[in-house]
């Protein structure tokens, strides 16, 4: 098995607020392997941005350590391994897309000409048609793709994406998902935070769900999405759901696990619930996030 190229060990981070110190990350441990795509999910304020900032060397944890290829992230040699696309990227407004990429290519041009670096970044970001447009004139989706393109300059082995997928329209998102799969196939380790959970379902091998800065769930996405959920539509509201069921707008739902549908419905009948209809669906990542953060 490969050694992790990115590892977090016991990472805790506090932030200062007007009303005092607030913990934004709590004892987070996580490994990312070369060629692996790991999704970060959670509600707003869960700590995903803080985790990515620390991995990029742009913030310092109060405790714990982050290593890139075995080197602490505060070392220059480690930070050279990372490409980072922030959630709210800002570029010099008077520069064109090509000029922005050329500027950053000067920092990452070892072993390759700037022209080749820029050409490759334009291709990965799907930006060839807007290469001559000024950054100030770009829509939000193109800005997000420019941030992604900038992060890929120099073929760095670790890629950190913060809400990049969330800013895109469905067509651009599908294209970028395909690019990420290609990069991972070539050995790039990708840690991607997104509120666009359907996109994470398409590409992530593993998912880490954060809740108030702590890991609420971590595991293979394929195993999570194989779980079955029984939805029960009732003729009226229920005050006390049966054990293992939770109330929904239409009635009840429960994870089946090893139970049969008949056994779960029998429990509803035993509680004299007015069942109108039922169906089984596969659990989604959205289900997992909501459940982990309840």
pLDDT digits (tens, 9 = 90+) for 187-229: 999 999 999 998 899 899 999 999 999 999 998 988 877 788 8
Radius of gyration of the chain (CA): 22
Domains belonging to the chain, first-starting first, are 6-222 (3.40.50.300), 226-293 (3.30.70)
The number of residues making up the chain comes to 294
% the chain with pLDDT above 70: 98
Residue 257 confidence (pLDDT) above 90 = no
Under 8 Å CB-to-CB from 240, ≥6 apart: which residues?
none
Tokens of 147: 């941030």
Other CB atoms within a 10 A radius of the CB of residue 257 amount to 9
Q: Give the separation between CA 25 and CA 71, rounded to whole angstroms.
A: 21
Distance (Å, whole) CA 98 – CA 225: 41
Q: How far apart are CA 187 and CA 2, in angstroms?
A: 11
Strand partners, 28: 11
- pLDDT of residue 86 exceeding 60, the answer is yes
212's CB contacts (< 8 A; 6+ apart) are 26, 45, 46, 47
Would you place residue 61 in the very low, low, confident or very high pLDDT band (cuts 50, 70, 90)? very high
Q: pLDDT at position 105, please?
A: 87
152: pLDDT strictly greater than 70: yes
- Residue recorded with tokens 């779960």: 264
The closest alpha carbon to 25, from 9, 7, 6, belongs to: 9
Residue 256 pLDDT level (bands cut at 50, 70, 90)? confident
Q: CA-to-CA distance for 287 and 266, rounded, in angstroms? A: 24
| β-bridge pairing 6-17 and 63-68 | antiparallel
User: Does 110 have pLDDT greater than 60?
Assistant: no
For the segment 168-173, the average pLDDT, to the nearest whole number, is 92
| Chain segment 134-151, per-residue pLDDT in tens | 998 899 999 999 999 999
CA distances, 83 to each of 55, 147, 224, 259 (Å):
10, 10, 29, 45
Alpha-helix runs per DSSP H in the chain: 48-55, 76-79, 97-105, 114-125, 140-152, 170-185, 197-203, 221-225, 261-270, 285-293
Greatest CA separation for the chain: 73
Strand pairing report for 251-255 and 246-247: antiparallel
With contact defined as beta carbons under 8 Å apart, do 67 and 81 qualify?
no
Q: How far apart are CA 241 and CA 31, in angstroms?
A: 39
> Who's near 113: CB < 8 A, 6+ residues apart?
none
Contact 176, 164 (CB under 8 A): yes
Tell me, what's the pLDDT at 112? 65
């Amino acid at each position: 098995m490969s050694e992790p190229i990115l590892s977090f060990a016991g990472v805790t981070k506090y932030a200062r607020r007007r009303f005092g110190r607030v913990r934004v990350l709590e004892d987070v441990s996580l490994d990312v392997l070369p060629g692996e795509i790991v999704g970060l999910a959670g509600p707003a304020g869960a700590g995903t941005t803080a985790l990515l900032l620390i991995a990029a060397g742009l913030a310092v944890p109060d405790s714990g350590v982050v290593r890139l290829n075995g080197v602490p992230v505060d070392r220059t040699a480690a930070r050279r391994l990372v490409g980072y696309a922030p959630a709210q990227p800002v570029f010099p407004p008077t520069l064109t897309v090509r000029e922005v990429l050329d500027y950053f290519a000067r920092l990452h041009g070892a072993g390759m000409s700037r022209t080749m670096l820029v050409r490759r970044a334009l291709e990965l970001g799907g930006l060839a048609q807007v290469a001559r447009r000024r950054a100030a004139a770009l829509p939000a989706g193109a800005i997000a793709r420019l941030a992604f393109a900038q992060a890929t300059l120099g073929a760095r082995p670790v890629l950190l994406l913060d809400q990049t997928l969330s800013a895109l329209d469905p067509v651009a998102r599908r294209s970028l998902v395909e690019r990420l799969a290609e990069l991972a196939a070539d050995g790039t380790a990708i840690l991607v935070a997104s509120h666009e959970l359907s996109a994470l379902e398409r590409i992530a091998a593993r998912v880490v769900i954060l809740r108030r800065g702590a890991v609420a769930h971590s595991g293979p996405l394929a195993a999570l999405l194989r779980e079955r959920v029984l939805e029960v539509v009732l003729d009226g509201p229920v005050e006390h759901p049966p054990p293992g069921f939770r109330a929904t707008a239409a009635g009840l739902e429960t994870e089946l696990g090893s139970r049969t549908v008949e056994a779960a419905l029998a429990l509803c009948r035993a509680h004299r619930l007015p069942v109108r209809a039922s169906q089984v669906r596969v659990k989604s990542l959205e289900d997992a996030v909501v459940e982990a953060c309840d």
